[in-house]
Structure 1
Amino acid sequence: MTVSLPEDSWFRSAGLGLFVHWDHASAQGLEVSWPMVGGAANLRHTTSTSIDRYRSTERTFDPDRFDARELARTARESGATYAVLTSRHHNGYAMWPTETSDRSVAHSRGKRDIVGEYVTAMRAEGLRVGLYYSLSDWNHPDYPAFTDARHPYLQPDKTWPWTPAQADRYRDYLRRQLTELLTWYGPLDVLWFDGEWERTADEWRTGELRELIRTLAPDCVVNDRLLGHGDYATPEQYIPAAPPDGPWEACLTMNTSWGHVPQDGDYKSAREILHTLAETVSKGGNLLLNVSPTGDGTLPAEQRERLAAIAGWMADHREAAVGVRPGLAPGMFYGPTTRRRHDDGSETLYLYLLAWPEEPIGVRDVPTRRVRSVDLVGVGELPWEERLAIADLELPDPSGELRVTLPTERPSDVLLPVVRVELGAAR
């Protein structure tokens, strides 16, 4: 992966993003794309369906209750600073009125430019705008298109034959679609590629695509699935034990599905999602949390409930998760930590209390003489004391252990308590 993001890039401390997986087949309660190729082993609630059935809602798609402004407000209130919408998934259906194909929202009953509405609404709420785009198109005749008789993901021979003429035509199709997205809706902040595993970087000619993006949107951040030309890594559905080198983002579903699958009730709790966010930002990453609108464009109740709970937590604790960098080294505190540096040289340290302690907490490797205040965010000040090695007692700016005493009872209305430590500038 080639990383080109400067240290002060907005992406490095974005904190939380909202991923939006949506497709005409959401009206059928089908996972996006995968049912038409037999399903996927890692998607427990995804079943196989015929290509004709999957495509049967292309023309009837009419998300009459979709309100992009409401989605954008929900994203902002949840603490998200950016969003990524599936403009075209592997199945080839475009959520904008592309001129490259008749398989798009322009030919649906609703005839709504979903990408355009989303982009306008997100920008109006001050969010960075991203689009997901799959390099693969399983319905394109030059890809070549998959059939009901050929499900390579269920067969030993996972090959995708391509003639030179097909490859040239298909790559031209990719360039034309990306040009539409980058010019009609630009400047975009993020392009989130996928489907890259089916071909090599040379076959995709990812260098040419990156140059196209650089020409039309010089500041657009690109993920590592544009092989060899990504700005950040994208671990999927998990948080790595050790953070990847350079910028990174974990993408995570609330249940186990990316698209709207009503039978998938395996939802994570709001507390678990916040714990995941805390771990991610403490390791220097962002969390791209997925939502999956239904066929009419509304979010399932379970997802609205979790976003509302996250918004409630963010009302007091946003400063600990957005615009911060990793805090203490591993082992210096029992939970995740983040840090915010201020222009005057002072710092704020945030300590996430994943479990409520029965004794005073110890925080090591802290410049204890610079501690100005310690408080439980949203609750009030906390008593604390320093512990130093005897040999360090006379030092002007020693590093020691901070001992903080917490209330006996955990605040019942706080999903994830955070201790805030204000540190003065070094002298």
Structure 2
Amino acid sequence: MASWFETARFGMFIHWGHSSQQGVELSWPMAGGNAALPTASMSVAAYQASAATFDPRQRDFPALARLAKRCGMQYAVFTAKHHDGYAMFHTKTSEFGVAASPVGADLVREYVEAFRAEGLRVGLYFSLCDWRHPDYPALTDDDRPYRFGRGRQPTPEGWERFLRDMFEQVRELLTNYGPIDLLWFDGGWERTPEQWRANELEALIRELQPGILINDRLPGAGDFETPEQFVPPQPPGRPWETCMTLNESWGYVPSDTRWKSPRQVVHTLCEVAGRGGNLLLNVSPMGDGRLPQEQIAILEEVAGWMGRHGEAITGTEPGLAPWQVYGPSTKRGSVTYVFLLKRPYESVTLRGVPVDHAARAWCVGTGEELRTSSRCAIADRLFGRDPLGELTIEVPPAAIDPLATVLAVEWR
């Protein structure tokens, strides 16, 4: 379906839970980690112990929303409940969550209100699996090593009780917080679509929130695809978004110092936009609620770049074909934007373009008009044809942006 999502291009993922106090990844340490996500291994009891002390008094959702907006992000997705079962919202189904922890406040409500106040779309992450619920059944130390899709099966009676709670939590999230723009499922690999009652759950979701978008991780459903931690070489055949971390961890893990540079983030954003997708970039607050300074520093540089070049990202569609220019490109109306992810020699050439329709070219970051020249088959002009040829744009050294240079061409 056509929607705001298809041209949003940039969003913020927020992974946060009680385990942030311990500086360990969400959920996976209690499962002993996995090959795709190396992380600490700890007993279930040790991991879940920090639920009793979660009290992030320095949280500031309005400031986080303002940072997202400065970055040119159009939406956000917040972890309402991860695999560990800890509810970041008030729910009648369980006492394991913020309502019974020292924080007391409904963090989903605070997030929704703050981001909505900045004009951003709001999404919620919800794990289908629940490694604490007794009827799931709950994960124990004896269940390690974790094996995908090979966990213990519930009893029929227990599964009915679990499904009642899971459906009720989804109902609460889609009833108590006003319009929710996007529901981001995860954990569906552990059961079949029939076990999840995915069709029934999807029907409930669309009844409660007719305009909502659902990702592809509710088995058998979904409005968009979600590749993870990479940019697909070819865009999927329908709307898509790649989710990506700023280091190698989703949650707050201070020992993980493998930070992406602002240039890496910007280049990824350019490549994703050029393929018609969205980049859902993850942040991970600390146990006290503050965002790590390393993440703030990266995002502030990205925000500066977007302040200069955001028109080439937000609200655009893919531009030229890969063979026409060395680098990604986008377009909006009569303007084509070209991203230079490598420093050019004196010029950049666009191929197979209507050269006689090039009205002007400029550097997006500075507004400087750039000189152009063109060439095409002489016979095309001799016989009055509208030629396709090569448009060369001169790029002076002063036009080079330290993160990524963006050129624009307007066509008559």
Name the structure 2 match of 1:370. 357
AA at the equivalent of 1:60 = T
Structure 1 residue 410: Cα displacement = 5.6
- Equivalent-residue separation in structure 2 for 1:102 and 1:317 (angstroms): 46
Residues 364/199 of structure 1: CA separation in 2 closer, same or farther (3 Å cut):
same
> Please, which moves more after superposition, 383-392 or 242-251?
383-392
Equivalent in 89, 100, 103 of residue 107 of structure 1: 100
Name the structure 1 match of 2:236. 244
Structure 1 residue 273: Cα displacement = 0.7
Equivalent in 86, 99, 103 of residue 79 of structure 2: 86
AA at the equivalent of 2:321 = A
1:18 equivalent in alignment to 2:18: no
- Equivalent-residue separation in structure 2 for 1:294 and 1:408 (angstroms): 41
Name the structure 1 match of 2:370. 382
AA at the equivalent of 1:355 = K
- Equivalent-residue separation in structure 1 for 2:292 and 2:56 (angstroms): 14
1:415 equivalent in alignment to 2:408: no
Gaps in structure 2 of 5+ consecutive residues: none
1:59 is paired with a residue of what secondary structure? helix
Name the structure 2 match of 1:64. 57
Name the structure 2 match of 1:402. 391
- Equivalent-residue separation in structure 1 for 2:125 and 2:388 (angstroms): 45
Structure 1 residue 131: Cα displacement = 0.3
Name the structure 1 match of 2:30. 36
1:327 equivalent in alignment to 2:316: no
Equivalent in 313, 335, 338 of residue 351 of structure 1: 338
> Please, which moves more after superposition, 216-225 or 378-387?
378-387
Equivalences for residues 232-271 of structure 1 within 5 A: 232-271=224-263
Aligned length: 410
- Equivalent-residue separation in structure 1 for 2:385 and 2:116 (angstroms): 48
2:322 is paired with a residue of what secondary structure? coil
Contact 1:88 1:95 in 2 (8 A): yes
- Equivalent-residue separation in structure 2 for 1:367 and 1:227 (angstroms): 45
AA at the equivalent of 1:416 = A
The superposition leaves residues 120-140 of structure 1 with CA deviations (integer Å, 9 ceiling, x where unpaired) of 000000000000000000011
Q: Cα RMSD over matched residues?
A: 1.3
- Equivalent-residue separation in structure 1 for 2:404 and 2:105 (angstroms): 40
Gaps in structure 1 of 5+ consecutive residues: 342-346
Structure 1 residue 160: Cα displacement = 2.9
- Equivalent-residue separation in structure 2 for 1:405 and 1:398 (angstroms): 21
Structure 1 residue 227: Cα displacement = 1.2
Structure 1 residue 336: Cα displacement = 0.4
- Equivalent-residue separation in structure 2 for 1:157 and 1:196 (angstroms): 9
Structure 1 residue 391: Cα displacement = 2.7
AA at the equivalent of 2:363 = L
- Equivalent-residue separation in structure 2 for 1:83 and 1:395 (angstroms): 52
Task: Report % sequence identity.
Answer: 51
- Equivalent-residue separation in structure 2 for 1:227 and 1:206 (angstroms): 6
> Please, which moves more after superposition, 388-397 or 323-332?
388-397
- Equivalent-residue separation in structure 2 for 1:93 and 1:133 (angstroms): 11
AA at the equivalent of 1:353 = L
Equivalent in 65, 68, 80 of residue 75 of structure 1: 68
AA at the equivalent of 1:356 = R
AA at the equivalent of 2:208 = L
1:19 is paired with a residue of what secondary structure? strand
Structure 1 residue 396: Cα displacement = 5.4
AA at the equivalent of 1:305 = A
Equivalences for residues 159-178 of structure 1 within 5 A: 159-178=151-170
Name the structure 2 match of 1:313. 305
Structure 1 residue 371: Cα displacement = 1.4
Equivalences for residues 176-325 of structure 1 within 5 A: 176-325=168-317
Structure 1 residue 40: Cα displacement = 1.9
AA at the equivalent of 2:340 = L
Structure 1 residue 166: Cα displacement = 1.7
Residues 407/399 of structure 1: CA separation in 2 closer, same or farther (3 Å cut):
same
Structure 1 residue 389: Cα displacement = 1.6
AA at the equivalent of 1:19 = F
Contact 1:36 1:54 in 2 (8 A): yes
Name the structure 2 match of 1:96. 89
Structure 1 residue 158: Cα displacement = 2.1
Contact 2:148 2:189 in 1 (8 A): no
Name the structure 1 match of 2:120. 127
Structure 1 residue 165: Cα displacement = 1.3
Name the structure 2 match of 1:344. none
2:141 is paired with a residue of what secondary structure? coil
